[in-house]
Amino acid sequence: MALAILARRRAAEAVLRRPQAAAAGAAVSAWRAYAAAGEESDVVVVGGGPGGYVAAIKAAQLGLKTTCIEKRGTLGGTCLNVGCIPSKALLHSSHMYHEAMSSFAHHGVKFSNLEVDLPAMMAQKDKAVAGLTKGIEGLFKKNKVTYVKGFGKLSSPSEVSVDLIDGGSTVVKGKNIIIATGSDVKSLPGITIDEKKVVSSTGALCLSEIPKKLVVIGAGYIGLEMGSVWNRLGSEVTVVEFAPDIVPSMDGEVRRQFQRMLEKQKFKFMLKTKVVGCDTSGDGVKLTLEPAAGGEQTILEADVVLVSAGRTPFTSGIGLETLGVETDKAGRILVDKRFMTNVKGVYAIGDAIPGPMLAHKAEEDGVACVEFIAGKEGHVDYDTVPGVVYTHPEVASVGKTEEQVKDLGIAYQVGKFPLLANSRAKAIDDAEGVVKVIAEKETDKILGVHIMAPNAGEIIHEAVLALQYGASSEDVARTCHAHPTVSEALKEACLQTFDKAIHI
pLDDT tens for 69-122 read 999 999 999 999 999 999 999 999 999 999 999 999 999 999 999 999 999 999
Q: Are residues 292 and 355 in the same domain?
A: no
* Identity of the amino acid at 110: K
- pLDDT > 70: percent of the chain: 92
20, part of any domain: no
Return the SS3 of 10. helix
Q: Are residues 146 and 165 in the same domain?
A: yes
Report the alpha-carbon distance of residue 468 to residue 399 in Å, rounded: 10
Reported confidence tier of residue 24, pLDDT bands at 50, 70, 90: very low
Q: Does residue 14 or residue 127 have the better pLDDT?
A: 127
Q: Are residues 47 and 162 in the same domain?
A: yes
Region for residue 384 given its phi and psi (left: phi exceeds 0; alpha: psi -120 to 50; beta: otherwise):
alpha
Q: Are residues 319 and 176 in the same domain?
A: yes
100, part of any domain: yes
439, part of any domain: yes
End-to-end CA distance of the chain: 35
360, part of any domain: yes
- The CA-atom distances, in angstroms, between 23 and each of 28, 61, 64 are 9, 10, 8
Residue among 385, 490, 389, 488 nearest 439 (CA): 490
Report the alpha-carbon distance of residue 339 to residue 177 in Å, rounded: 11
Q: What single-letter DSSP state applies at residue 350? A: G
> What residues form the annotated binding site?
88, 152, 181-183, 218-225, 241, 310, 351, 357-360
Residue among 298, 304, 228 nearest 263 (CA): 228
What does the pLDDT read at residue 59? 98
410 pLDDT higher than 70: yes
Q: Are residues 134 and 270 in the same domain?
A: no
380, part of any domain: no
What average pLDDT does this structure show over 153-176? Answer: 98
What average pLDDT does this structure show over 296-311? Answer: 97
What does the pLDDT read at residue 20? 40
As a whole number of Å, the CA-based R_g of the chain is: 24
* Identity of the amino acid at 375: G
Domain boundary (374, 399, 422) is at 374
Q: Are residues 51 and 181 in the same domain?
A: yes
Report the alpha-carbon distance of residue 136 to residue 76 in Å, rounded: 7
23, part of any domain: no
* Identity of the amino acid at 270: M
| Torsion from C-alpha of 198, 258, 409, 491, nearest 10 degrees | 130
> What residues form the annotated binding site for NAD(+)?
218-225, 241, 310
What does the pLDDT read at residue 31? 32
Maximum distance among all Cα pairs of the chain, rounded to whole angstroms = 71
State the CATH number of the domain containing residue 251: 3.50.50.60
CB 181 within 8 A of CB 78: no
What does the pLDDT read at residue 71? 98
> What is the phi/psi pair of residue 199, to 5°?
-120, 155
Q: Are residues 234 and 334 in the same domain?
A: no
Domain boundary (342, 374, 406) is at 374
What does the pLDDT read at residue 42? 98
Strand-strand pairing, 285-291 and 434-440: unpaired
Query: pTM here?
Result: 0.91
- The CA-atom distances, in angstroms, between 75 and each of 50, 136, 138, 301 are 9, 7, 11, 38
Catalytic member of 92, 379, 461, 483: 483
Q: Are residues 347 and 261 in the same domain?
A: no
Opening angle at CA 226, ends 221 and 229, nearest 5: 130
30 pLDDT higher than 50: no
In the chain, the number of structural domains is 3
**Which residues, listed in sequence order, are joined to residue 17 by a DSSP beta bridge?**
none
CB atoms within 10 A of CB 75: 26
Report the alpha-carbon distance of residue 12 to residue 14 in Å, rounded: 5
C-alpha 28: how far from its chain's center?
Answer: 33
CB atoms within 10 A of CB 189: 6
Reported confidence tier of residue 11, pLDDT bands at 50, 70, 90: very low
Q: pLDDT, tens digit, for every residue of 367-404?
A: 999 999 999 999 999 999 999 999 999 999 999 999 99
Domain boundary (293, 309, 325) is at 309
What does the pLDDT read at residue 58? 98
Reported confidence tier of residue 23, pLDDT bands at 50, 70, 90: very low
For every residue of 302-329, which 3-state class applies, written as one string? ECEEEECCCEEECCCCCCHHHHCCCECC
54, part of any domain: yes
What average pLDDT does this structure show over 234-245? Answer: 98
Q: Are residues 156 and 210 in the same domain?
A: no
- pLDDT > 90: percent of the chain: 92
Q: Are residues 456 and 441 in the same domain?
A: yes
> What residues form the annotated binding site for FAD?
88, 152, 181-183, 351, 357-360
Q: Are residues 85 and 144 in the same domain?
A: yes
Q: What single-letter DSSP state applies at residue 484? A: S
Q: Are residues 60 and 169 in the same domain?
A: yes
Q: Is 450 a catalytic residue?
A: no
What does the pLDDT read at residue 39? 87
Range of the domain at 134: 41-185+313-374
- Residues, the chain, total? 504
CB atoms within 10 A of CB 255: 20
403, part of any domain: yes
| Torsion from C-alpha of 402, 404, 405, 406, nearest 10 degrees | 90
What average pLDDT does this structure show over 324-353? Answer: 98
